[in-house]
Amino acid sequence: GVQTCALPISLELAVDQQWPQLTLLPGQQEEDGQPRAALGFSLPLPLWNRNAKAIAEARAARAAAAEGMRAELERATQELAAADLHCSTARTQRELVEQQLVPLTEQQLAEGRQLAQRGQLDPLLLLDALLRSHAARLQALDAAAATALAEIERNALFWPRSEEHTSELQSP
């Protein structure tokens, strides 16, 4: 955030402070009972350590911030990869249920109805086919919902997370 943006500036400032800094000091003196404007200056000379401690601290803070950003990027990349895998898995499961399971149960139900039309009505067989068809359709709905939730979770990784945004969504 703001602290990370200030790190390059603090390093530049620390490097600049290793050189002499001329400071002008305006003032007022009294000479022969008369007030007169005066101008003084200060020129501290960094002869020994040339501000090495501040420069080293600024570089260390900059390196720590860079590592923090790399770690955050790695975490975000891992979250995105996991969300992509979850979406892919949910999508595959949904396709299997919709393209294989539901048609098989519908076929079983149709065959039970054909047997009933031919006069070979077996109510328990027809009831079993209806229950399986209903369960397969419920499973297809659950798979569609799981796919949608996985997509929402993945897309949420791209949206900013803020209290203000969340409260706006929850308020009617």
Q: Read off the pLDDT of residues 140-161 as tens digits, 9 standing for 90 and up.
A: 999 999 999 999 999 998 876 6
**Model confidence at 2: pLDDT above 60:** no
Task: List all residues 6 or more positions away from 25 whose beta carbon is below 8 Å from its beta carbon.
Answer: 39, 40, 41, 42
Question: Could you give the residue ranges of the DSSP H alpha helices within the chain?
Answer: 2-16, 52-96, 102-117, 123-156, 163-170
pLDDT band at 25 (very low <50, low <70, confident <90, very high): confident
Rounded to an integer, the average pLDDT of 23-40 is 82
pLDDT band at 9 (very low <50, low <70, confident <90, very high): confident
Q: How far apart are CA 168 and CA 156, in angstroms?
A: 16
pLDDT band at 163 (very low <50, low <70, confident <90, very high): low
6-15, 52-61, 100-109 — which is least confidently predicted?
Answer: 6-15
Rounded to an integer, the average pLDDT of 18-26 is 76
Rounded to an integer, the average pLDDT of 93-113 is 95
